[in-house]
């Protein structure tokens, strides 16, 4: 993906710079900019599409937590002086988006969650992925998707590299444990922003019942299931995902203008 990563004030991010409203994308635990390639390509001319690279692998170990990532996003939004943002979060990124929205409700225009953690997740089962076992990592990465071909060699190599880097692996475990501790079941009723939920019917990390529970607990929410789709609908079903997101964003923006 041909994008320029900006580095300033301790932040690394990409930004389309369009004059429209800000669409802030938050990636997951093993996420990368490429995960959002479809969204970036579709929305960058109409919205100011921004993807901050979450410092999951760079934070001091005593700061590694979901809360630490929320503080990072808060500092980033303040630094960039964004007003209201449309948050889009996948997996751990959805969890961070929800916690940010709970802490800063007046700065949220809308929330879109896809395969979000925060209620239940099962990323690698009960054990951390085996270091040095490439075939195991390849198999587990492929299981993230309905279509295993979406797990390209580039993606598998990236996950393999993370798992086999001791410092990164420790931070992955610490972040995952923090996410489990920060269950949001008793807080989601406080979310007031319009919320879009897009879930893969074959998601085995955050299964369909998780999307249904988010829908039940977030009052102003709508839920869409995509068939033949796993944990990352924005990658596996790009066109369907983007069409639903486009319609939702236009509805939210128009409603605010009319108000």
Q: Which domain holds residue 94?
A: 6-258
pLDDT of residue 128: 54
Structure tokens at 256: 């605010």
Number of domains composing the chain: 1
Q: Which helix (H) or strand (E) holds 113?
A: strand 108-114
The H-assigned helical ranges of the chain are 37-43, 66-80, 92-103, 134-142, 153-163, 166-181, 208-217, 233-236, 238-258
In a domain, 189, yes or no: yes
pLDDT of residue 124: 46
225 - beta bridge partners?
Answer: 199
In a domain, 1, yes or no: no
Structure tokens at 177: 């444990």
151 - beta bridge partners?
Answer: none
pLDDT of residue 123: 54
In a domain, 214, yes or no: yes
Instruction: Give the closest residue to 13 by CA, choosing from 61, 63, 48, 64.
Output: 48
pLDDT in tens, 203-234: 999 999 999 999 999 999 999 999 999 999 99
pLDDT in tens, 35-76: 999 999 999 999 999 999 999 888 888 888 899 999 999 999
Q: State the pairing for strand pair 22-26/85-90.
A: parallel
Q: How far is CA 5 from CA 12, 16, 35, 158, in A?
A: 6, 11, 15, 18
d(CA 7, CA 149): 33
Higher pLDDT, 128 or 223: 223
Average pLDDT, the chain: 91
- DSSP for 44-112, please give it: TTTSEEEEE---TTTS-GGG-SHHHHHHHHHHHHHHHT--SEEEEEETHHHHHHHHHHHH-GGGEEEEE
Task: Let me know: does 254 contact 88? Beta carbons within 8 Å.
Answer: no
CATH number of domain containing 60 = 3.40.50.1820
In a domain, 25, yes or no: yes
In a domain, 99, yes or no: yes
Question: What mean pLDDT comes out for the span 175-195?
Answer: 91
């Amino acid at each position: 993906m041909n994008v320029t990563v900006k580095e300033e004030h301790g932040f690394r991010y990409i930004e389309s710079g369009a004059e429209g409203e800000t669409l802030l994308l938050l990636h997951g635990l093993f996420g990368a900019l490429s995960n959002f390639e479809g969204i970036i390509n579709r929305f960058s001319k109409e919205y100011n599409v921004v993807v901050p690279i979450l410092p999951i692998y760079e934070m001091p170990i005593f700061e590694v937590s979901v809360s630490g990532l929320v503080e990072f996003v808060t500092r980033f939004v303040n630094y960039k002086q964004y007003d209201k943002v449309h948050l889009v979060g996948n997996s751990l990124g959805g969890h961070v988006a929800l916690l940010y929205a709970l802490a800063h409700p007046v700065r949220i225009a809308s929330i879109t969650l896809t395969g979000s953690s925060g209620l239940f997740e099962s990323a690698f089962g009960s054990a951390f992925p085996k270091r040095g076992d490439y075939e195991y990592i390849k198999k587990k990465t492929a299981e993230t998707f309905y279509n295993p071909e979406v797990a390209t060699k580039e993606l598998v190599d990236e996950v393999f590299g993370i798992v086999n880097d001791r410092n990164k692996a420790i931070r992955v475990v610490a972040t995952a444990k923090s996410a489990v501790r920060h269950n949001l079941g008793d807080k989601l009723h406080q979310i007031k922003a319009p919320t879009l939920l897009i879930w893969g019917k074959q998601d085995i990390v955050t299964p369909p019942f998780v999307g249904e529970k988010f829908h039940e607990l977030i009052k102003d929410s709508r839920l869409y299931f995509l068939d033949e789709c796993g944990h990352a609908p924005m990658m596996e079903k790009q066109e369907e995902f983007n069409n639903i997101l486009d319609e939702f964003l236009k509805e939210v923006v128009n409603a605010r203008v009319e108000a």
